[in-house]
Chains A and B, each alone.
Chain A
Amino acid sequence: MIRVFLRGLAAHFRAGRTLLILSVLGVALGVASVLSVQILNGSALGAFEGGLRAVSGEADLTILGKVPTVPDAWVREAMSERGVAAAWPVVRTPVKLEGPGGVFLDLAGVDVLAPVWFPWDVPPGEVAAALGAPGWAAVSEKLARERGWAVGDVFDVSSGSRRVRLRVGLLVDFRKVSPLAGDRLVVLDIAQAQDALGLEGAVHQVDVKLSPGASRAEVGERLARRLGPAAQVLTPEQRRSQAAGLLSAFRLNLTALSLISLLVGAFLVHTTTQAALVRRRAELGLLRSLGTTRRQVLAILVAEVALLGVLGTLLGIPIGYWAAAANVEAVSATLSNLYLLEGIGSLGLEPWVLALAVAVGLGGAVAGALLPALELSRRDTRALLAPFSLHERVGKAAPRLAVAGCAILAGTGVWYAGLGRGWRPAGFVVALSLLIALPAMTPWLLRTLCGRLRARGFGLAYGVKALGVKLGTTSFAVAALGIAVAMLVGITVMVGSFRRTLEVWIDATIRADVYVTTESWRRARETAVLDPAVVSALLRLPGVRSADRLRRTRAFSGERRIALVGRDVGMPGGEGRFVLIEGDRADAIRRVAAGEAAMIGEPLARKAGLGVGDRLPLTAPGGNFEIPIAGVYLDYAEEHGSAVLDLSALESRFGLAGLTNVDLYLEPGASPERIMDSIRGRFPDAPLELLSNRRLREEILEIFDQTFAVTRLLQGMALLIAVAGITLTLLVLARERVSELALYRALGASRRRILRVFLGEGVGMAGLGILLGVPGGVALAMILIRLVNRAYFGWTIVPSWPVAALARQAAVLLAAAAAASLYPAIRASRTPATELRRDDL
């Protein structure tokens, strides 16, 4: 059998070269789509983990605060716990590197004298310098190369209003420690770091090394009890999973989108296999009549398709890596801007990701081909030698398939209404049922729509009508296109609606004229504190009517990490800053301003199941407390939830001094640009960031667009596969319909006319794909907006319909379909009339 397989292989692949190339491309793009997302997801977590390993080394446990900083006395507390061999303090915060380019560094302060093994060594001669030389810092070799630094060179960083001069004391390759470690790590001695950041007696974490034989779980529990509710004690695995949790919704959505591309690719393989099998039915029939078993026939077919899968995977891996590399900047920016995590320093291609690529490539190819291969292997010898009635059978099955599709949708709807509603991934199940139902309904829709078409004349419309005849081939291409279009429309409507909702929210809430913060605020948030002298000067500036003072920090509500904002809630005329979806605004503002209550953002309300009248649990340095909730406001800034207290309440409860942001409201007629110039003039050396109202709005939308950049790539890949499907299907049709085309030629149809018919078929497939995909896409958008988004992000998105963008996409798709049809149309038009065979019309 192996000889039969090998001898036939080259001949079959030679006979269907273009088909082979297209199906390999389909598999490759599907693999690339999944692979690129997994590389980005893995690298995002790898960057976090790499930084963690580079700083914490062999620590078994890390003590973190549920408040911004913890007292360094916790080191002693930890050391006195049974089972702890060593404990050492760590300071970690992002700082802004002075100079152009908006580069942030991750500053870590560690105890270079700690009696533990660090993942990198300070050479003995350097220890004294690390401790004593002002600003001594270890930086990565790559960063030094990029910036042109050598040992001894100095550079400035800022944290809030503080500017610190550091000196390159040591070059370290952190990637030797952890391959995905970021190259933006800067390590100082702990004392120098505390001094530079103004953290007297405070640190960000305490790393712990256990005695041999001590249980991490038990010691962790005892430490948590000892240090009180403001402490959380985590293993490195727990810290990784915490970061994974932060990114889970982002990662899951990308993964789901990439799987759609794979599904579309599998349809392509299905079409190719079907075409190959139709072509080879006589050969397979002969093999069967010579005694080949069904299992052997199936083995031959599956082996061929598996080979196709291997080729697709081999091509898909570099494409996937390239796609990931092309998007690393956008994803990195999203990680930094939205999740405040380390950006991706380098892409990692872990063995399991490669294994996944092979699995999806092979699996997708075999899954796409399995049905036709199984069917053919089961048919008896006579049936194989007789003309194949595939299209007729698909036509007969069409109504049953359509009913099955409707039943799947209805069943999922009933399931969701009854049981699924409370289950977080239920939205994905509903979306999946839609993506299964769409292809199931395709043959019936195709047959009905094309059958009703009054095609008079031999041109484009005639081509469209003919699509309803060869259902066995055309259904799959139209279904694949339908899914790709549904994905395109669904994402476009969802993103368009989200953007529009965001614009409305920005209009309502971004009302100040000038926004003042520090350059490091973008990444550092809570540690980026403004100098009080700067703040008081800002408030006295001529032309400033009023100011909204803000202190942003991170806090814990139960086990949930949220953003906590203290601000001048009662600022006269500032009511519009809060768009409440629950609670009376005037009453809520009055109560919050009086320090009696808090307002919470919508994502927190949805995820924690909280509302007006409930009490918000918070952890402060002094312990846990609860505060009544007076209102729920729209919040698109914090995916993981936020709450607002009055500034005075935040200061008194959390002991936080200083502000992170000041929003200035100007006198009528005052120019924001002039005020900003005046601030820059008064504080020429302060690392301030000043944004006008317009610039802040633009920036928010830029970050939004950047977040969805990868989505656009995935949409593009799915569409590319689907358009390749048009070419492939038309090539299959041109081959299947040789006799029919020869008849047209015999009846006097010119090549140009046949070309037009085929173009009609290509454009018709795209049109039908659009017709199928648009309602599917609208439904998908609603599922994404109402189910997936609410379950994972908790945002209210008001649906809006970007008609112009959708029309543009439809036009592009039709044009792409026409272009994709050209080659098969030219091939079909070259069919000679002499090809008119005996009985296979």
Chain B
Amino acid sequence: MDPVLEFRSVSKRYEQEGGEDLVALREVSFSVPEGRAIAITGRSGSGKSTLLHLAAGIDVPTAGKVAILGRDLSRLDEGERTRVRRDSVGLVFQFFHLLSHLSVLDNVMLPAWIAGERDRDAEPRARELLARVGLGSRASSPVPKLSGGEMQRVAICRALLRKPRLLLADEPTGNLDDENGRRVMDILLRLGGEEGSALVYVTHSPDLASLADETWRLGSGVLDRP
């Protein structure tokens, strides 16, 4: 069976005007099987965000292969990569990125709308997810009324709505206090596990990294795996 996410000798360089290319990733290889939670740590500028962008198909590698469920993203055009992301990947961001003009429920429903799913199919699932993160009663609330922790829980529900096989989280607790951060991380791991999604998350915190099945370290574009 194909791994959910596979990097094979992936390098990413950014051209810089009037200077040497910036190498964000060097020959990175790994694979993440279904249900597995991976934490990636590293200092700022170590290439963590680049790795997540490549994993989500938002960006393409300069060399090497990135595959989701066996599909080589570098062979797909931009539209096909978008479809893969829409159907197989869930994203959680450090700054939540909820739309303030939509209600809590509508924010969770957004991926279903984008995918053209019918409300009657997606809404029960959205409500169920909100209930599972303790926000069942806040479905109609406007987003700006929520606390930071609540917002991130909504963002997790949004990421999970379409049952993605791969869940990517970029510093999901970076904008929360310790207590809320811990709680959100627990939810992310629990729900990801219950849904059977592979989870790759980036964090600065050794404590939160230790909650994952494995912790990998990224330094100067090189992935250090135990």
Contacts of B83 in A (CB 8 A): 748, 750
Chain A residues with Cβ below 8 Å from B115 are 748
Is B53 part of the contact surface with A, judged by Cβ < 8 Å?
yes
Contact A746 B85 (CB under 8 A): yes
B111 interface residue per 8 A CB criterion? yes
Contact of A743 among B82, B97, B116, B119 (CB under 8 A): B97
- Map CB proximity to B onto A182-220 as digits: 1 under 8 Å, 0 otherwise: 000000000000000000000000000000000000000
Say yes or no for B1: interface residue by CB 8 A criterion: no
Interface pair A456/B58, CB less than 8 Å apart: no
Indicate if B51 sits at the interface (CB-CB under 8 A).
no
Residue of A nearest to B57 (CB): A833
Q: In the assembled complex, which residues on chain B have CB atoms less than 8 Å from the CB atom of A469?
A: 100-101
A750 touches B116 (CB 8 A): no
Pair A750/B82 contact, Cβ less than 8 Å: yes
Contact status A740-B85, CB under 8 Å: no
Contact with B along A736-749 (1 / 0, CB 8 A): 00011001111111
Q: Which residue of B lies closest to A468 (CB)?
A: B101
A745 to B56, CA, bound (A): 11
Return the contact of B100 from the options A458, A746, A841 (Cβ within 8 A).
A841
Which of B94, B114, B116, B119 makes the CB contact (< 8 A) with A747?
B114
Q: Does B218 sit at the interface, judged by CB under 8 A?
A: no
> Given A457-B116, A740-B99, A749-B114, A832–B58 Cβ distance below 8 Å?
yes
Q: Is B101 within 8 A of A834, CB to CB?
A: no
CB distance from A173 to the nearest CB of B (A): 66
**Which A residues touch B86, using CB under 8 A?**
747-750
B30 contacts A by Cβ under 8 Å: no
Instruction: Bits for B152-193, please: 1 = Cβ < 8 Å to A, else 0.
Output: 000000100000000000000000000000000000000000
**How many Å lie between the Cα of A747 and that of B158 in the bound state?**
9
CB distance from B60 to the nearest CB of A (A): 11
Instruction: Please give the distance in Å from A459's CB to the nearest CB on chain B.
Output: 8
Whether the pair A751, B79 counts as a contact (CB closer than 8 A) is yes
Query: What is the minimal beta-carbon distance from B49 to any residue of chain A, in angstroms?
Result: 9
Kindly report which residue of chain B lies nearest to residue A458, judged by CB atoms. B113
Interface set, chain B 60-112, CB cutoff 8 A to A: 78-79, 82-83, 85-87, 89, 91, 93-95, 97-101, 110-111
A63 CB, nearest partner CB in chain B, Å? 75
B59 within 8 A of A: yes
Q: Which residue of A lies closest to B110 (CB)?
A: A747
- Are B93's CB and A836's CB within 8 A? yes
User: What class of interface size applies to chain A in its complex with B?
Assistant: 20 to 34
Tell me if B119 and A841 are in contact (CB < 8 A).
no
**CB of A839 closer than 8 Å to a CB of B:** yes
Q: A749–B56 Cα gap in the complex (Å)? A: 13
| Distance to closest chain A CB from B158 (angstroms) | 8
When the two chains form the complex, which single residue of A466, A739, A745, A838 contacts B82, counting CB atoms closer than 8 Å? A745
> When each residue 13-38 of chain A gets 1 if its CB lies under 8 Å from chain B and 0 otherwise, what string results?
00000000000000000000000000
Query: How far does the alpha carbon of A839 sit from the alpha carbon of B96 in the complex, in Å?
Result: 9
Which partner residue on chain B sits nearest A469 by CB separation?
B101
B110 and A841 contact, CB distance less than 8 A: no
Q: Could you tell me the distance between the alpha carbons of A468 and B97 in the complex, rounded to whole angstroms?
A: 19
**Cross-chain contact B95 with A838 (CB below 8 angstroms):** yes
Distance, CA A441 to CA B134, complexed state (A): 40
B113–A457 contact, CB under 8 A? yes
Min CB gap B87→A, angstroms: 7
Q: Which residue of B lies closest to A835 (CB)?
A: B58
Contact A833 B79 (CB under 8 A): no
Within the complex, the shortest CB–CB distance from A475 to chain B, in Å, comes to 15
Asked whether A633 is an interface residue with its Cβ less than 8 Å from the other chain, the reply is no
Q: A746-B58, A750-B82 are in contact. Are A836 and B97 (CB under 8 A)?
A: yes
- Nearest-CB distance from B111 to chain A (Å)? 5
Structural contact, A456 and B91, CB atoms closer than 8 A: no
Q: Give Cα A466–Cα B78 distance, bound, in whole angstroms.
A: 26
Which of A462, A465, A841 is within 8 Å of B98, CB to CB? A841
Please report the C-alpha to C-alpha distance between residue A833 and residue B85 in the assembled complex, in whole angstroms. Answer: 11
In whole angstroms, what is the CA distance A745 to B86 when docked? 9
Q: How many angstroms between the C-alpha atoms of A744 and B56 in the bound complex?
A: 13
A748 and B114 contact, CB distance less than 8 A:
yes
Whether A753 sits at the interface, judged by CB under 8 Å, is yes
A739 closest partner in B (C-beta): B97
Q: Is A748 a contact of B82 with CB atoms below 8 Å?
A: yes
Q: Identify the closest chain A residue to B106 (Cβ).
A: A455
Q: Is the CB of A834 within 8 A of B59?
A: yes
From A749, which residue of chain B is reached at the shortest CB distance?
B114
**Beta-carbon contact of A841 and B114 below 8 Å:** no
The residue of chain B having its C-beta at the shortest distance from the C-beta of A754 within the complex is B114
* Distance between Cα atoms of A816 and B82 in the complex (Å): 31
Chain A residue with the shortest CB-CB distance to B87: A748
Assembled-state Cα–Cα distance A746/B89 (Å): 10
Whether A748 and B119, one on each chain, are in contact in the complex, defined by CB atoms closer than 8 angstroms, is no
Report the separation of the CA atoms of residues A750 and B93 in the bound assembly, to the nearest whole angstrom.
Answer: 20
A456 to B83, CA, bound (A): 20
A839, B171: Cα distance in complex, Å:
14
Question: Do A466 and B97 touch across chains, with their CB atoms under 8 A apart?
Answer: no
Residues of the B chain whose Cβ atoms lie less than 8 Å from the Cβ of A834:
53, 58-59
List, in ascending order, chain B residues with CB within 8 A of A838's CB: 94-95
Residues of B within 8 A of A749 (CB): 82, 86, 114
For B87, list chain A residues within 8 Å (CB): 748
Given A748-B115, A834-B58, A839-B95 in contact, is the A458-B110 Cβ separation under 8 Å? yes
**Could you tell me the distance in whole angstroms from the C-beta of B41 to the nearest C-beta in chain A?**
20
In the assembled complex, how far is the CB of residue B73 from the closest CB belonging to chain A, in whole angstroms?
13
Which residues of chain B are near A465, meaning CB under 8 Å?
101
CA distance A456 to B110 in the complex (A): 9
Kindly state the separation between the CA atoms of A749 and B83 in the bound complex, as whole angstroms: 8
In the docked arrangement, what's the CA distance between A457 and B123, Å?
Answer: 12
- Give the distance in Å from the alpha carbon of A833 to the alpha carbon of B58 in the complex: 6
Q: Which of A451-482 contact B (CB under 8 A)?
A: 456-458, 462, 465-466, 468-469
CB proximity of B144 to chain A, nearest CB, Å: 9
| B61 CB, nearest partner CB in chain A, Å | 14
Residue of A nearest to B89 (CB): A748
Which residue of chain A is the closest to B164 with respect to CB atoms? A748
> For residue B94, which residues in chain A have a CB less than 8 angstroms away from its CB?
838
Partner of B111, one of A745, A748, A751, A836: A748
Q: How far is the CB of B93 from chain A (nearest CB, A)?
A: 7
A841 pairs with B82, CB closer than 8 A: no
Instruction: Give CA–CA (A473, B111) in the complex, Å.
Output: 26
**Complex formed: what's the CA distance from A747 to B92 in Å?**
10
Contact indicator per residue, chain A 505-541, by CB within 8 Å of chain B (1) or not (0): 0000000000000000000000000000000000000
Q: How far is the CB of B200 from chain A (nearest CB, A)?
A: 15
A468 vs B101: C-alpha distance in the bound complex, in angstroms? 8
Q: Are A841 and B99 interface neighbours, CB within 8 A?
A: yes
Q: Which of A458, A468, A836, A839 contacts B114 (CB 8 A)?
A: A458
A822-838 interface mask toward B, CB cutoff 8 Å, 1 = contact, 0 = none? 00000000001110101
Docked-complex contact B114 and A753, CB < 8 angstroms: yes
**Which chain A positions have C-beta within 8 A of B119?**
456-457
How far is A740 from B95 in the complex, measured between Cα atoms in Å?
12
Contacts of A751 on B, CB cut-off 8 Å?
78-79, 82
CA A750 to CA B119, docked complex, whole Å: 19
| Contact yes or no, B97 A841, CB < 8 A | yes
- The complex places the Cα of A535 from the Cα of B158 at a distance, in Å, of 92
Identify the closest chain A residue to B144 (Cβ).
A392
| Bound CA span A749–B87, Å | 11
A491 to nearest B CB, angstroms? 36
CB-defined contacts of A750 to chain B, threshold 8 Å: 79, 82-83, 86
12 contacts between A and B (CB under 8 A): A458-B116, A462-B113, A746-B91, A747-B110, A747-B111, A748-B83, A749-B114, A750-B82, A834-B59, A838-B94, A841-B95, A841-B97
8 additional contacts, CB 8 Å, given A458-B110, A747-B114, A749-B86? A458-B116, A469-B101, A739-B97, A744-B110, A746-B58, A747-B85, A747-B86, A841-B99
| Shortest beta-carbon contacts, A-B, top 8 | A748-B86, A469-B101, A458-B113, A833-B58, A749-B114, A458-B114, A748-B85, A457-B113
Interface residues of B (CB under 8 A from A): 53, 56, 58-59, 78-79, 82-83, 85-87, 89, 91, 93-95, 97-101, 110-111, 113-116, 119, 158
